[in-house]
Amino acid sequence: MDAMAKDGIRLQPRPGGFGCEVWGLDLARGVSEATFRRIERAWFDHSFLIYRDLQMTPAQHVAWTRRFGPLHIMVPTDWNLPEHPEIFVVGNAEREGKPLGLRRAGMGWHSDGEDKRIPNAGSMLYAKEIPPSGGDTLFADMYAAYEALPEALRQRIAGRRGRFSRIDMHQVHYPHLPPLSEADKRARPDVFHPLVRRHPGSGRPALFVGRWTRDVEGMEPEEGRALVEELFAHATQDRFVYRHVWRPRDAVQWDNRCMLHCATGFDEQRSTRLMHRTTLEGVPTS
Ligand SMILES: O=C(O)CCC(=O)C(=O)O
Ligand SMILES: [Fe+2]
């Protein structure tokens, strides 16, 4: 456990080191460069930060996330706050009968933007309103998943790229929705990402698969699909997973380059969940 530093911020890694709680961040007071660097180091060392009891306006949320890198503005822009388009609203909250955010976002293991040419580096999700039960978020450690891969499997994926396909996976994940139109397909072409990526901040290799990964470049489709399924099943085993049960004013800042995450359901008829998310821009993977 980290002792309380002079700046009044306590960093408390979770048992096992996957995740670190951040207590005492006061955005209204301003945060020095030294304190920022300490928190950023903890982010790289522990993959995600759980800020506890954080008071944060949308403007502060945007400004704090921006210190970690350039921000991404979600497209389509329907669920972004009009006055702060960098904030993407998630949940079932409504005002005057109109939904405020995207419902049922992220229900399935993924990293944000994995299906785009430039996946997002990270995201910071802030709990504005949470249901009395359910609506937890799961996080899986892709460094640990990579480390635990049998050597033969590591050899098989070395230097390989996965094909991430909205087009092929849309019907698999959203059988209840209409198929993608030709315009949708043109807007979301297949992309290829390395199955193993080295994190620029930590230097460590992490496994990279998600729910939009279909198969593997240069392999027969069937063989690639089976390999992706094997990797995906391996990566999402309980031993790599932390379940975040939200408390009011929690914010979780995760790193998409070394983790997967997955939203879980709650009683949408009886309770309200409202979350604000900022998203960090990434860099092309190849
Ligand atoms: O609402 C959640 O628990 C997570 C949703 C999600 O995947 C995201 O905001 O990126
Ligand atoms: Fe997500």
Beta partners for residue 61, in sequence order:
none
Residue nearest atom 5 in ligand 1 by C-alpha distance: 106
pLDDT at 197: 96
Ligand 1 atom closest to 263 (CA): 3
Identify the band that residue 7 occupies on the pLDDT scale cut at 50, 70 and 90. confident
- Distance in angstroms (rounded) separating the CA atoms of residues 146 and 234: 9
- Listed residue (90, 105, 99, 82) closest to 273, CA to CA: 90
Is pLDDT at 274 greater than 60 in this prediction? yes
Is the model's pLDDT at 225 over the cut of 70?
A: yes
Q: How far is the CA of 241 from the centre of ligand 2 (A)?
A: 15
Residue for token pair 């993924």 = 110
Whole-number Å distance, alpha carbon 5 to ligand 1 midpoint, is 31
Q: In the predicted model, is pLDDT for residue 173 greater than 80?
A: yes
Cα of 173 vs centre of ligand 1, distance in Å, is: 16
pLDDT band at 175 (very low <50, low <70, confident <90, very high): confident
Amino acid (1-letter code) at residue 173: H
- Among all ligands shown, which has an atom nearest to the Cα of 115? 2
Alpha-carbon distances, residue 267 vs 38, 97, 130, 131, 133 (angstroms): 39, 18, 11, 8, 8
Tokens of 242: 């932390």
Give the pocket of ligand 1 (CB within 6 Å): 90, 105-106, 112, 123, 125, 137, 261, 263, 275, 277
How many whole angstroms separate alpha carbon 95 and alpha carbon 200? 41
3-state secondary structure 201-258: CCCCEEECCCCCEEEECCCCHHHHHHHHHHHHHHHCCHHHEEEECCCCCCEEEEECCC
Q: Residue 276's closest CA among 107, 105, 47, 120?
A: 105
Q: Going along 20-104, which residue ranges are E strands? A: 20-23, 48-51, 80-81, 84-91, 94-95, 98-99
Asked whether residue 2 carries a pLDDT value surpassing 60, the answer given is no
**pLDDT recorded at residue 3:** 52
Q: Which ligand is nearest to the CA of 131?
A: 1
Atom 2 of ligand 1, nearest CA residue? 263
**How much is the pLDDT for 4?**
64
Largest CA distance in the chain: 57
**Percentage of the chain modeled with pLDDT above 70:** 98
Q: How far is CA 222 from CA 156, 207, 227, 228, in A?
A: 15, 21, 9, 10
Give the C-alpha separation, 135 to 149, whole Å.
Answer: 30
Who wins on pLDDT, 158 or 171? 158
Residues identified as active-site: 110, 112, 261, 277
Q: 124: which 2 tokens? A: 């910071």
- In the reported structure, the alpha carbon of residue 106 is separated from the centroid of ligand 1 by a whole-number distance in angstroms of 5
The bound ligand whose nearest atom lies closest to the alpha carbon of 126 is 1
Is a pLDDT exceeding 80 seen at residue 256? yes
Q: Counting atoms of ligand 1 from 1, which one is nearest the CA of 279?
A: 10
Residue 286 has a pLDDT of 80
Ligand 1 atom closest to the Cα of residue 135 is 3
Q: Which of 264, 275, 276, 280 to mutate to test the pocket of ligand 1 (most atoms within 8 A of CB)?
A: 275
> Tens of pLDDT along 141-150?
999 999 999 9
Q: Which atom of ligand 1 is nearest to the CA of 261?
A: 7
CA 263 / ligand 1 centre spacing (Å)? 5
For residue 194, give the H/E element and its range.
Answer: strand 191-194
Per-residue confidence at 176, pLDDT binned at 50, 70, 90?
A: confident
> Is the confidence at residue 1, as pLDDT, over 60?
no
For the residues 114-129, what does the mean pLDDT come to? 97
Query: Tens digits of per-residue pLDDT, 60-111?
Result: 999 999 999 999 999 989 999 999 999 999 999 999 999 999 998 999 999 9
Site to substitute for ligand 1 among 261, 276, 280, most atoms within 8 A of C-beta:
261
